[in-house]
């Protein structure tokens, strides 16, 4: 284990529940995570696995009601964010931690110019004047690779293409040089050639600014090409957590193995026209989970022991798995 202070972010035993009419959905149910300075953590899983709720919990943006962080700590730069007042938290959001979302059109305000929206962050957090903030906005747009930023800064979101909007979102997120950027499915809505541009941009900006990144996606290819460490989530829990190479080369959890086998692959040497090995069953509903290991009802290695919930155990240095196979 690295020294305590080299971590930018530590999540301890996080539980975020949603209290609905049909019952309590335990969207995040005991998540522990660590993120180093300048590191990239990939958070991967299928819909409803809790990856986005984990991110929103860090930002304290869980809609309450029905959601509530019922337990846990989110320690960022030595401070537990969950103990801050709303006013203090507002100073963290957008300044030290910022977030970009999947659909840039719905996260940009359609009635304000791009420059106004980037300026708002700068004026609020850094107290810049209107003019200074506008000029910095142009600089930010240039940094994220938007051509003729002097002109684009005065445009409205609908005048920009999907890729350009995501660049503008990134410019806004990075305006105050945050220590951590959370990217929730940043390229899912984009075409594959534009996706490659945006991923390259995030990688480059991370090197230039030294920020840490949490990248949330369902796309294992994106994770493999961007993250250094990966946490695989299933039904509100982390089932496997490892550096990117061992996770893809020697995945241990049956769910991770199943995911990797179920995607068709383009790279050569891979047997063509082979039948995909699908994971049987359905993506679980959070209101109706099996007892014990949550993957047990879809797992081909299921055994009696799986009636009880396995702990997340370190089986190789830095490689954690939540599975009874490795006892």
- Contact positions toward another protein, by CB under 8 A? 46-47, 161, 163-164, 191-197, 199-200, 218-225, 244-245, 248-249, 258-260, 262-268, 272-273, 275-280, 282-283
| Nearest CB to another protein, comparing residues 134 and 234 | 234
- We find the least distance from the C-beta atom of residue 47 to another protein, in angstroms, to be 6
CA 327, 258, 215: angle at the middle one, nearest 5?
95
**Min CB(287)–another protein separation in Å:** 13
- Minimum distance of another protein from residue 278's CB (angstroms): 4
Of 86 and 288, which has the nearer Cβ to another protein? Answer: 288
Q: Residue 107 or residue 195: which is nearer to another protein going by CB?
A: 195
Rounded CA separation 60/76 (Å) = 12
Minimum CB–partner distance for residue 222 and another protein (Å): 5
- Looking at the Cβ atoms of 105 and 124, the one nearer to another protein is 105
Give backbone dihedrals phi and psi of 102, rounded to 5 degrees, phi first: -65, -50
3-state secondary structure of 5: helix
Helix (H) or strand (E) holding 221: helix 220-226
What's the farthest any 2 CA atoms get from each other in the chain?
A: 67
**Smallest distance from the beta carbon of 259 to another protein, in angstroms?**
6
In whole angstroms, the minimum distance from the beta carbon of 274 to another protein comes to: 9
Residue in this structure with the two tokens 């503008």, named with its chain if needed: 168
CA 93/CA 79 separation, integer angstroms: 14
**In terms of CB distance, is 67 or 258 closer to another protein?**
258
Nearer to another protein, 131 or 272 (CB): 272
List of E strands, the chain: 7-20, 23-36, 40-44, 67-76, 79-80, 97-100, 180-184, 212-217, 229-234, 237-243, 313-316, 319-321
């Amino acid at each position: 284990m690295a020294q305590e202070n080299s971590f930018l972010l530590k999540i301890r035993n996080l539980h975020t529940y949603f209290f609905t009419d049909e019952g309590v959905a335990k969207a995040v149910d005991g998540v522990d995570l660590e993120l180093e300075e300048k590191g990239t953590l990939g958070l991967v899983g299928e819909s409803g696995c809790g990856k986005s709720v984990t991110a929103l919990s860090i930002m304290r943006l869980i809609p309450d009601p029905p959601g509530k962080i019922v337990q846990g700590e989110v320690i960022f730069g030595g401070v537990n964010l969950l103990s801050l007042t709303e006013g203090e938290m507002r100073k963290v959001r957008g300044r030290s931690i910022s977030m970009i979302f999947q659909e840039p059109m719905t996260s940009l305000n359609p009635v304000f110019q791009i420059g106004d929206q980037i300026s708002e962050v700068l004026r609020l957090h850094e107290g810049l004047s209107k003019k200074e903030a506008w000029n910095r906005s142009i600089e930010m747009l240039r940094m994220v690779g938007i051509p003729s930023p002097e002109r684009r800064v005065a445009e409205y979101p609908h005048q920009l293409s999907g890729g350009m909007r995501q660049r503008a979102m990134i410019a806004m997120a990075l305006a105050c040089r945050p220590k951590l950027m959370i990217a929730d499915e940043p390229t899912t809505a984009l075409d594959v050639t534009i996706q490659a541009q945006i991923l390259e941009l995030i990688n480059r900006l991370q090197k230039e600014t030294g920020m840490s990144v949490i990248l949330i996606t369902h796309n294992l290819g994106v994770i493999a090409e961007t993250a250094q460490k990966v946490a695989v989530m299933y039904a509100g829990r982390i089932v496997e957590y490892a550096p990117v190479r061992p996770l893809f080369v020697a995945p241990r959890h049956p769910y991770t193995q199943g995911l990797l086998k179920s995607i068709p692959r383009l790279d050569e040497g891979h047997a063509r026209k082979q039948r995909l090995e699908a994971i049987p069953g359905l993506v679980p509903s959070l209101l109706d989970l099996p007892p014990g290991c949550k993957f047990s009802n879809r797992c081909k290695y299921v055994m009696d022991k799986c009636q009880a919930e396995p702990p997340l155990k370190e089986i190789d240095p830095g490689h954690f798995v939540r599975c009874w196979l490795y006892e």
